[in-house]
Structure 1
């Protein structure tokens, strides 16, 4: 197998046109290739500058999970820190986790940030939403978002060999036009991911805000899941100034 390492967008496009298979850290595809056979060409974005950015409002797809630090919002940093083992985090990438994994551990965090996706196609770079990226498995270059006022992430304890642990992520955002706020919440329940948002009145207490979530898709959760969301949102809002 020939591994290609483009250093520019034009080189990456050339690799795609010539049939190179995009990989992240190859943590998820290696066993499959050993079983079914290796492709003739693969492509890694680890040397592509556009896929390696880390900032308060952007994150490249080739960034390895252990590299995600205080430069990004807390919800995304904590989500990355809970993925697998230290060895996995030193190899797995943002793009591989979001596009190549069935668990998609970073997805709830990305959703509550209202993150958009930057993708590379044969005719250039464009921005789209995460739903399209996941459905069509585009080549992800990175994520972009507007920094939230506050954010938080929680992963419940799971059982070895059992279903994926329950995850809840939340973020409070400012509305730049009306100077209002809204709360966005996302959960991973098994392999399903739900997300929704509600307006957040700084004069309301946390229980009033959580009650609004009962009329969204989050309200369709089972009782234990709703209880975890309630605790999580209470703790996030408690730390915000009135």
Structure 2
């Protein structure tokens, strides 16, 4: 297998046009390749600057999960830190987790950040939402978002060989009217649900939770809803909100 390491988006496009298969850490495809055969050509994004950004409001698809640190919001950092084992996090990439994995551990965190995806298509790069990214499995270059006021993440224990552990991600953003908007996203099994509720001055966690109860989140099993309740309460009482 010939692995190309382009250093520009245009060179990456040339590799793809020649039939190269994009790979990150190959943690999700290695077993398949060993069983069914390796592709003749593969291409990595790890030398493409647009895919290796890491900052307060952006994260590249080629960034390894163990590299996701406190430069990004807490919800995204904790989500990345909860994926697999240390060995997996040292090999797996952001793009592989979001686009290549059925678990999509980073998706709830990206949803509450209201992130947009920068992708590479046939006509060049463009920005799209996460729904299209996941549905069409685009080649992701990076995620971009507006930094939240505060955020959080909770993952319940899971059983080995069982369904994916339940996770809940939260983030509070300033809205156009000077108030606050709480975004909540959960992964329940393989399904991801995202909802939001206003958190205006004077409103406490019970009022916000009542509003969330009237969304599809209210149909969650008791244990899952308790995790949502605890995480929402913790997020809304963060001193960062004043």
Offset, 1:183: 0.4
Aligned to 2:177: 178
Per the alignment, in what secondary structure is the counterpart of residue 46 of structure 2? coil
Unaligned runs of 5+ in 1: none
Aligned to 1:192: 191
Per the alignment, in what secondary structure is the counterpart of residue 135 of structure 1? helix
1:2 and 2:22 correspond = no
Please show how residues 47-62 of structure 1 align to structure 2 within 5 Å.
47-62=47-62
Alpha-carbon separation, structure 1, partners of 2:113 and 2:238: 18
What TM-score results when the alignment is normalised by the length of structure 1?
0.97
Alpha-carbon separation, structure 1, partners of 2:219 and 2:192: 12
What is the count of residue pairs matched by the alignment?
241
Unaligned runs of 5+ in 2: none
Offset, 1:220: 2.2
Per the alignment, in what secondary structure is the counterpart of residue 187 of structure 1? strand
Contact 1:167 1:189 in 2 (8 A): yes
Runs of 4+ residues deviating >3 angstroms: none
Alpha-carbon separation, structure 2, partners of 1:237 and 1:181: 10
Per the alignment, in what secondary structure is the counterpart of residue 225 of structure 2? helix
Aligned to 2:33: 33
Contact 1:69 1:77 in 2 (8 A): yes
Aligned to 2:16: 16
Aligned to 2:82: 82
Alpha-carbon separation, structure 1, partners of 2:2 and 2:220: 46
Alpha-carbon separation, structure 2, partners of 1:135 and 1:40: 27
For residues 161-186 of structure 1, give each alpha carbon's deviation from its aligned partner in whole angstroms, at most 9, with x where no partner exists.
Answer: 111111000000001x3112110000
Alpha-carbon separation, structure 2, partners of 1:122 and 1:7: 18
